[in-house]
Structures are given as structure tokens and as C-alpha cells.
A and B are shown apart, each in its own frame.
Chain A
Amino acid sequence: MSRRARLLMFGVAAAGLGVVLIIGLAGLPAFGDYQGVYGHVINGIGVSARHATDLVTALNFDFRAFDTLGEEFILFGSVLGVVLILRQLRGEQERPSLEEADEHTFAGASDALRVLALVLVPALIVLGVYIVVHGQITPGGGFQGGVILASGPLVLFLSGRYLRMRRLGPHTLVESADAVGAAGFALVGLSGLIFVGVFFKNFLPFGIPGHLLSAGQIPLASVAVGLEVTGAFLVAWSEFLDQAILIRSRPPEAEQ
């Protein structure tokens, strides 16, 4: 196709897209003009019906927990895919000396950085747990807290100690956390089916709004999701780290 014909086609398509865009943008509601009904309904009944003060978490883990179940298994499935694709292939070998990988040197891997990492690990873990268990009261919840929890061990890698990170989050432990969390969330839903007859219907006492143990099943579901997300991110990161630091595509003799 000649350059002229291509430009002509582009011109026609761009003009069409422009017209459709202008029609669409002209019909948009004004800024801040919310016309949905669902949001108003949830805002109205969230606190009284579920005793949760953070309605986003109430939506994720109660009103539409079934959607979250699907999303959670998307994460689970993609991590499974990462593990499958990044497995050790035939002809690939782990580095013979693991100590070398632990002290992988880069500019700035100083003692000060290591001390900072040691301080940051417990702080990140406390923050992550806080975000996970306070999901029903303040913004946050299992997903956000889970990623923060997972970044705790990652800090050890950033300070130049990869094998320490592996020791803090060994493969079997993070893999089982991933699986137990995913199964735990599904079990919360099944408990609803068993105890009150509807999948993901709340089966626990609601408690007092604003208290840590309130909003029925939401804290339980949040902890399960937090466990799953922590495991999922640590599994994915360690697979990437193994590939980048430990696994070589040539046998060790040839590396000399």
C-alpha cells in the first residue's frame, strides 16, 4: 500500500474517531455529578446493615465478595503462571556458590543501608498487619496490606542480602501462605452457604461499628486475602529474583 493510500485511510479513521469522541464527550455529565444509584444505596445502608465504616472494604469483602473471589483467583492463577514459566529449565543451573549471590555487590550496598533495612522490616510488617486488620474501619484491607507485608522481606534484598530474604520468606512457606489465603477466602464464602444458606452471606455477629472485631465476616475475609496477596507477591518476586540472580543458562564449568 502506498504512503498516500495509508495516509488517506488514517485520515478517514481519525476523522471518524474524532466525531465519535466529540459526541461522547459532549454527553458526559458535569464534573462531580454522580448519577449512579448503587453508590447512594451503599452509602445509606453500609454502616447500619454491615457495621463497617469503610464502605469500599464492605463492598469488596461483603456486598460483592463474589467478585473479589474471582479477582483473587486471577492473582492466584497469574502467580501460578509465573512459577510455571520461570521454572528451572533443562540446561539451566543454579550458581554453585550461593554466598556470592547473597553478597551481590552494587554501588551503595553499605552497612548503613543494611541497618536501615533491618529497621524497615519490622516497621513494614507492623504497618501491613495494621492495614489488613483495620480494613473494615479505615481505608485499606487485605490487598493493600498484603503487598505492604510482602515488601518487608523485599527490603532485605534491596540492602544486598538476597539469601536473607529467602530465609525470612522460604519458598514452601510463601507458597502455602498463597494457597491457604486463597482457600481461606473461598471457605469464608462456603461458611455463609453452610451456616446461613447463601454463598458469601455474613454468618458472624456484626459487633459495634468502629471496633476492631466488627462488620461480621469482613475482618476474616480481609485476613485471608492479605495472606494470599502476601504469598502471591513473595512467590512472584522470588521467582524473578531466582532468575536474575541464581539461575544461569550455562553449566558452571563453562562460566570459569
Chain B
Amino acid sequence: MTVLQIAALAAVALSGGGVILARDPLRQTLVLGVFGVALTMLFFVFQAPDVALSEIVISTVGLPVMVLLALRKVSQQERERNEEKQ
């Protein structure tokens, strides 16, 4: 195992733990992007560039956009409900 591979594994472990420890969904989404980049490095240094390419576009573009938009919709609905109560 090379130094790069050990570093990539450590980065995945650290950022993966970070995703779990971030309790606020908005922050969690951002940390999830970092986790995706770490996974991309992992796939790349383990000689799987095809998987790395898929991972980087999904984890940095595909998934966060959907999660962030869903969060926006949920907070919007909560605000509307609160306004109705008042």
C-alpha cells in the first residue's frame, strides 16, 4: 500500500465520520460533498478512474443539489405553516 492510498483511506474515514457528526442537515450536505471528493481520491489512487469520474459528478453535483432543494422546500413549508398558525 502506498502513502497516497493510506492518505486517501484516512481522508474517507475522517470525512465519513464528519458526515455523521454534523447534525444540521445543511452542514451535513456540505460535508457530504467533502466525503465525495475523498472517495473520488480513494478510487483514483486505487486505479479505478472510471468509478472516480462517476463519483465526483454524483457526489459534488448530482446529490447535493437534490438534498439542498429538498431542504429549501421543507423549510418553506414549515414557514408557511407557522404563518398560518399566527
Which residues of A come within 8 Å of B, CB atoms?
31-32, 54, 56-57, 131, 139-141, 143-144, 147-148, 151, 154, 233, 236-237, 240-241, 243-244, 248-250
Identify which of B18-26, B27-35, B50-58 touches chain A: B50-58
Task: Find B53's partner among A32, A139, A244, A250 (CB 8 Å cutoff).
Answer: A139
Q: A144-B53, A244-B69 are in contact. List 11 more A-B contacts (CB 8 A).
A: A32-B1, A54-B50, A57-B50, A139-B49, A139-B50, A139-B52, A144-B50, A144-B54, A144-B57, A154-B61, A240-B66
Chain B contact residues: helix, strand, loop or mixed: helix
In the complex, which of the residues A31, A54, A154 contacts B65, with contact meaning CB atoms closer than 8 Å?
A: A154
CB < 8 Å: which of A57, A131, A154, A249 contacts B80? A249
CB distance from A120 to the nearest CB of B (A): 12
Binding site for A on B (CB under 8 A): 1, 48-50, 52-54, 57-58, 61-62, 65-66, 69-70, 72-73, 76-77, 80
Contact (A151, B50) CB under 8 Å given A237-B66, A243-B69, A244-B73: no
Whether A240 and B53, one on each chain, are in contact in the complex, defined by CB atoms closer than 8 angstroms, is no
When distances are taken between beta carbons in the complex, the residues of chain A under 8 Å from B57 are 144, 147-148, 151
- Provide a sorted-by-A list of 23 A–B residue pairs whose CB atoms are within 8 angstroms: A31-B1, A32-B1, A56-B48, A57-B50, A131-B53, A139-B49, A143-B54, A144-B53, A144-B54, A147-B57, A147-B58, A148-B57, A154-B65, A233-B62, A240-B66, A240-B73, A243-B73, A244-B70, A244-B72, A244-B76, A249-B77, A249-B80, A250-B80
Provide the residues of chain A in CB contact with B69, threshold 8 Å. Answer: 237, 240-241, 243-244
With A57-B50, A139-B50, A140-B50 already in contact, the answer to whether A240 and B65 are too (CB < 8 A) is yes
